[in-house]
Structure 1
């Protein structure tokens, strides 16, 4: 497939877009002002309450601001649409009460968390498209549309099959990202994780199969972009067939230009070196040249560092199937993981484990007062097991590893709109 050179996308604040820029701890003065003004505007509109426990955390508000290029009115519209959509479809009730078996059935059709993270500490997901044959998808959609698997009473504007998908997005934002946020063995440990890195394997997929999946994937991508903005970071497409340029013509229209610029199409020879530039080999599945025992459909192969950080309770030694989320306890010094959903019609609500909060609010506020520069110096010295000299920023690594694609060759291509 012929490629287009990666284009560096610049924010209105004047610096490159991309983690950690535009995230907490790495905001320009203009972006800090935009966040403050956004809160004021949302408060006036009745969509935000500020207190010791605000209705929405800063990292969530920043996702909408980044998605709308820091234009407050545009961010407000998307935020309001999302809040209305969540209320109309009772997303909180859906996630709390969804049948665990139905949740796992849905999970098998979409990206799977490997239990690992990339070099920046962002959760790593794997998606193998070949499992979505027309029979599997058709049977799933018929079953999903005919069965309400939770106590939620949606307004009917969003199909049931997609609502079940968004239970998985809730798991990303309420379980995987908060867990990875509390892990400090990363370059920017005080910056909350709000993204995901995805390996998308399109090998063994025919043009007919892509065509049959087009409506299914387009609907999911459109709603995800609208209501879960700025949750995707690097996307590595592996195993692209010769006709993928045609398929790419459809796919890139589903995403905004910034997301499109983060998608890398890898040839077979470039899979291992490119992935290793972004992900430690021990966290790359063996099928793609790494050391991790992980196959699609597997439960997460949990990072040993995460295992050491959590304290298991109630007989658990791993995270169970189904939905779960984290909530603060002990005055915000710890988070507890609560397994929810239902099994055999019986509601589940059980503590799985706890994890210490790496930087409690009081400490974070004190560090902020001392100045970001001084704090960042301490952070860099305190990161264990991470060599900044070896692990350059993702952008720098991309420039080193991803060569320009020549016409007619399958070269690594960070694609831009």
Structure 2
């Protein structure tokens, strides 16, 4: 066995042997409420009708046999996503639980290992790096660098989507709890930077299928996780198109989205401290080996880790047999892609 495979096997054994905390232990290990909020409908900031909707939804789900993910913060995200319509929020929650069972979401952090991650990052950089001024994890996606033909020589769309779910689960179970402990209040959203530098109609159309299915997963199964969203290096006309569709969007959603051109640095620095923003985007942060694979953030600091343990790394813990062809496809796991 090679040294790399031996280290990976040891890592996997450590992950398997680590005692997993109960849901109650996990939730008790980090703040579950906001200290302040500019909107109602969030933990600690509910009006009477919202409290009643929360109690009703939880009772209905318990009566239906659900036992997991019934905490206030989770149920409120589904309620906010459906304007506190209990029936619609329940339907959304139940569809999510069905998908989680079919996809194997509860064990994806242990089951899936993205061994090709560092190579894929050369053709489609997607990564988390530190936090913004509100304590949120900052997620970067450099869509303009996509080289789809080269990327699909290394991986498949099914594996990319499985890695997306892996990242969501790591985000929920490791990044957000660590950020909440660091800030001293609940942090349940991300700050996303979508870089369109170099984007073309050809590259955009080639990656459209992946982006569509990724959006479907995020909207339907991880609702209310967007805190701030910055589109930078937006091409000419992008702002005009957004202005046309803005009236049809929820005002709360609109205030989270910022469309910026090539002179975006000052706006990003208003939200992200210079010491946390990667140097290539106008900040001062650098990491050994590059920010694309470093995964720096409070989730890497022992002071902010709880009973869930240190955040895993997608490319670690694999066995020699875990090759791209060995992982079940989405279809075989019951996750049929749906149009947006």
TM-score over 0.5 for the pair? yes
Deviation at 1:261, TM superposition (A): 4.4
Contact map agreement 1:106 1:165 (CA 8 A) in 2:
no
Q: 1:299 aligns with which of 291, 294, 309?
A: 294
- Equivalences for 1:9-408 in 2 at 5 Å? 21-47=40-66, 49=67, 55-102=69-116, 109=124, 111-114=126-129, 116-140=130-154, 143-144=155-156, 159-184=158-183, 189-190=184-185, 192-244=186-238, 258-269=252-263, 271-293=264-286, 295-302=290-297, 307=301, 309-310=303-304, 328=307, 336-337=309-310, 339=312, 342-345=317-320
- For 1:300 and 1:220, locate their aligned partners in 2 and report how far apart those are by CA, in whole Å: 21
More strand by share: 1
How far, CA to CA, are the matches of 1:124 and 1:217 in structure 2? 19
Query: Please, what TM-score do these two structures have when normalized by structure 2?
Result: 0.71
Contact 1:202 1:239 in 2 (8 A): yes
Give the TM-score normalised by the residue count of structure 1.
0.59
Q: Is the CA contact 2:142–2:194 (under 8 Å) kept in the aligned structure 1?
A: yes
How many aligned residue pairs are there? 281
Q: Return the offset for 1:85.
A: 0.5
1:162-220: per-residue Cα shift (whole Å, max 9, x none)?
22321111111111111111113xxxx33x21100011111111122112222221111
Structure 1 unaligned spans of 5+: 1-17, 146-158, 311-325, 329-334, 348-417
- Please provide the CA RMSD for this pair: 3.4
C-alpha distance in 2 between matches for 1:235 and 1:229: 15
Q: CA deviation at 1:84?
A: 0.2
What is the CA deviation profile of residues 131-176 of structure 1, one whole-angstrom value per residue up to 9, with x for unaligned ones?
A: 3212134335xx437xxxxxxxxxxxxx454223211111111111
Larger radius of gyration between Structure 1 and Structure 2: 1
Give the direction of change, closer, same or farther, for the CA distance of 1:196–1:55 in structure 2 (3 Å limit). closer
Secondary structure at the aligned position of 2:269 is classed as helix
Work out whether residues 240 and 266 of structure 1, in 8 Å CA contact, stay in contact via their aligned partners in 2.
yes
Task: Identify, as 1 or 2, the structure richer in helix.
Answer: 2
5+ long unaligned stretches in structure 2: 1-36, 323-340
Tell me how far apart the structure 2 counterparts of residues 98 and 56 of structure 1 sit (CA, whole Å).
26
